Amino acid sequence: MTIDSKARYTKSHEWVRPEGAVFAYGITDHAQEELSDIVFVDLPEVGDSFEAGGAIGVVESVKAASDLYMPVAGEISETNTALADHPETINTDPYGAGWIVKFKMADPSAWDELLTAEDYTKLIGE
C-alpha cells in the first residue's frame, strides 16, 4: 500500500495534493484496492462548483459503485478525460496518472482540516 507524503487525505479515502495554483484529487491506493478492478468513472464538468462533502461523480468497479466526494469546497478546473478510455489507471497509479479532477480550493485554510499522511496511515491501520 502506498501513501503520497505530499498529499492530504479524507476519512472517505480520497487524497488532495497541491499542484501550483490548483489541487489534484483522487482516491487512495487503499480505496482502489478495496474496490478492485475499476471499469468506469463518471466525472463532473469543468467549471462545476461543489461544497465540501458534495458528490462530484462515481467510480464503478467489478465489485461496487462508489460516490466520489469533494473533500473541500472548490471549483473544478480540469478533469482527467483519459479515465474515460482507461479507468483502470486508477488501479495502477492512483497518485499519478490516476488523478480524477483538479480544482481551485474555495478556502485554502481547508487544507489544514484534511488528514496528514501519518494520520491517514493510522486511520487505515497500516
CATH number at residue 27: 2.40.50.100
Q: Is residue 73 situated within a structural domain?
A: yes
Nearest to 99 by CA among 16, 1, 10: 16
Question: For the chain, how many structural domains are there in total?
Answer: 1
The pLDDT value recorded for residue 3 is 86
Hey, how many other C-beta atoms are within 10 angstroms of the C-beta on 3? Answer: 18
Residue range 62-91, pLDDT digits in tens: 999 999 999 999 999 999 999 999 999 999
| Beta-bridge partners for 14 | 27
- Please report how many Cα atoms fall inside a 13 Å half-sphere around the Cα of residue 41, on the Cβ side: 28
Q: Is residue 88 situated within a structural domain?
A: yes
Helix (H) or strand (E) holding 90: helix 89-92
The pLDDT value recorded for residue 95 is 96
Q: Is residue 1 situated within a structural domain?
A: no
| pTM greater than the 0.85 cutoff | yes
Q: Is residue 125 situated within a structural domain?
A: no
Ranges of residues in the chain with a pLDDT under 50 are: none
Supply φ then ψ for residue 68, to 5 degrees. -100, 130
How far apart are alpha carbons 70 and 51 in whole angstroms?
7
> Cβ contacts of residue 16 below 8 Å, gap of 6+?
7, 8, 9, 10, 23, 24, 25, 71, 72, 111, 114
- Please report how many Cα atoms fall inside a 13 Å half-sphere around the Cα of residue 51, on the Cβ side: 2
Helix (H) or strand (E) holding 120: helix 117-124
Q: Is residue 96 situated within a structural domain?
A: yes
